[in-house]
Amino acid sequence: MIAGRFITLEGGEGAGKSTQLRALAAALRARGLDVVETREPGGSDGAEAIRALLLTGGADRWSARAEALLFAAARADHIEKTIRPALARGAWVLSDRFLDSSRAYQGQGALTDADILTLHRIGSDGFLPDRTLLLTLPEGEATGRAKARDGDAEDRIGGRASDFHRAVADAFSRFALEEGARVHAIDASGPAEIVTLRLLDAIEDLLP
């Protein structure tokens, strides 16, 4: 029986996660693997409905606690309806963001990292990826890429102050330092094709 694998891509806005997820999926399909591309918040009907609630509306639409619970609820549905069934049939599941985004974005204000992990234990039995690829890019470069794509249009969370996004980047770096077996930091600068090769290198040991 072929073992499915669960790989997540993480990092700040504009780092190139969506671009790399597509490229990585194509490279894995070329090796004959069954690949499912998904994203958070979202990835199942219920979670996509919650995504719309989370990313639209005014900055204070949700309290920090309500926001964290909505992300955890969306994730529970995503895992149950999309990720676990795909892994059970032996597919490789690639997700654009997952739990580490909640830890980095929701776990550094009213709630702690431990609180977010508790919500994840309750919602999703503490389910973790086989490997997390953290795309790192200097702040100015990532902002430049996002601005070139979106102009001034920002979602509820992307539109927060640069101090907030700097703290998010620091939290991601900490995960890579403290959970190095799972979270691999990948330099996301340079041409997209080169970044894809770095990502492939970082999952080489998991490939059949």
17 binds ligand Z5A (CB under 6 A): yes
Q: Give the nearer residue to ligand Z5A in terms of CB position, either 28 or 186.
A: 186
Minimum CB–partner distance for residue 135 and ligand Z5A (Å): 7
149 binds ligand Z5A (CB under 6 A): yes
Cα 2 off chain centre by: 25
> Which residue stretch of 80-88, 170-178, 179-187, 188-196 sits at the interface with ligand Z5A (rule: CB under 6 A)?
188-196
Q: For residue 140, say whether it is annotated as part of any ligand binding site.
A: no
101 binds ligand Z5A (CB under 6 A): yes
Rg (CA), the chain: 16
End-to-end Cα spacing for the chain: 11
Minimum CB–partner distance for residue 204 and ligand Z5A (Å): 21
DSSP string, 155-196: -TTTTS-HHHHHHHHHHHHHHHHHTTTTEEEEE--S-HHHHH
| Identity of the residue numbered 107 | G
Query: DSSP state, 108?
Result: T
Q: For residue 14, say whether it is annotated as part of any ligand binding site.
A: yes
118 binds ligand Z5A (CB under 6 A): no
> Which residue stretch of 13-21, 83-91, 121-129, 200-208 sits at the interface with ligand Z5A (rule: CB under 6 A)?
13-21
Q: For residue 204, say whether it is annotated as part of any ligand binding site.
A: no
Q: Where are the alpha helices (DSSP H) in the chain?
A: 17-30, 45-55, 64-78, 84-88, 99-106, 113-124, 139-150, 162-178, 192-203
SS3 106: helix
77 binds ligand Z5A (CB under 6 A): no
**Applying CB under 6 A, which residues contact ligand Z5A?**
13-19, 40-41, 71, 97, 101-102, 105-106, 145-146, 148-149, 155, 157-158, 191-192, 195
